[in-house]
Amino acid sequence: MKKVKTIIFLSEELCSQAPSDKIVVAGGFREETEVRSSQRETNLTHLESTHEEADTRLVLRAMHSEFNTVVVASRDTDVLLVLLSHFKRAKCKHLWMMSGTSKKRRYISIGDVFNKLPGNSATFLLPHHALTGSDTTSYIANHTKRSSWKAFKEHHELLKNLGVSELKDETIKSSEAFVCRMYNVHNTDSVDAARHVLFCRSGKPESMSPTSDALHFHLLRVHYQSMIWRNAHRAKPDLRSRTDMGWKHGNSGLEAIRMSLCPIPESCMKMISCACRKQCRTRRCKYSKSGLRCT
């Protein structure tokens, strides 16, 4: 509640204390869609937004600005990627992002970065970012954004429908195929089959890809977050409830649903046992901690 009051106070002060030669536009009032300007005659109807994230509100404003040059001040990777994805929709001729610190500013030309991207991959950056980890989504084990970039450059088309309309079976299958490519498995599009290949390669359970069950819930959240970003240019996007998209209500608020099935069949749990030469009386070995037999 204190945070809400602080935001309202700052928004009101920004509008009331703005210099006469500047136009300040602020959101963050009690009404979700309310937007105010330091110049009351300014028409802000197109900015009355239901976006929950400040990142997408920034992009919404940038896309609808009538100025020739627009500079978005942010140090957030999410904002950079959303600006790149929506670059062609911008009305301005020059779009920049200002990052860095107050002592060392850095200006990034969105147009220059956009032109350096491989093929038509700009619109697929958002689902890739959500798939490989963001503020609201987890990352794929053993893979950073850098390590998954090679797969993205070669197979970004597999992510083209993530965040678009309803999440269909075809989109889940193509996204699953992309995850297989991330793990350098090319002879199957099934992560369950890929787990077998990866385990045979290394013999280490931690090297395996997620199960199809766990990946399904992850893709629900990725699809939802991608949809929010893809609709940043729309003031009032039509979104489903988060509880339909891989989250559930918990004691501390919304919690991610990790999986609905056990990652290892119960029959396998009974067959596998520790190969230690001595008894693990202290139960410190990883087998005991995983609930496996330790002789």
In tens, the pLDDT along 223-271 reads 999 999 999 999 999 999 999 999 999 988 899 999 998 766 666 666 6
Other C-beta atoms within 10 Å of 157: how many? 13
Residues 256 and 270 in one domain: no
Kindly report, residue by residue over 138-154, the tens digit of the pLDDT.
Answer: 999 889 899 999 999 99
Residues 284 and 203 in one domain: no
Last residue of one domain, picked from the residues 83, 116, 149: 116
Residues 95 and 230 in one domain: no
Give the three-state DSSP class for 100. strand
Supply the pLDDT for residue 85.
Answer: 95
Average pLDDT on 116-132 reads: 91
Supply the pLDDT for residue 110.
Answer: 97
Residues 105 and 17 in one domain: no
Give the three-state DSSP class for 207. helix
Residues 215 and 160 in one domain: yes
| Count of structural domains within the chain | 4
Residues 153 and 259 in one domain: yes
pLDDT class for 180, splitting at 50, 70, 90?
very high
Supply the pLDDT for residue 172.
Answer: 97
Q: How far apart are CA 220 and CA 58, in angstroms?
A: 25
Domain of 272?
266-295
Ranges assigned E (strand) in 155-224: none
Q: Please name the residue that has the structure tokens 């990652």.
A: 263
Residues 151 and 256 in one domain: yes
Residues in the chain: 295
Average pLDDT on 65-87 reads: 94
Residues 177 and 197 in one domain: yes
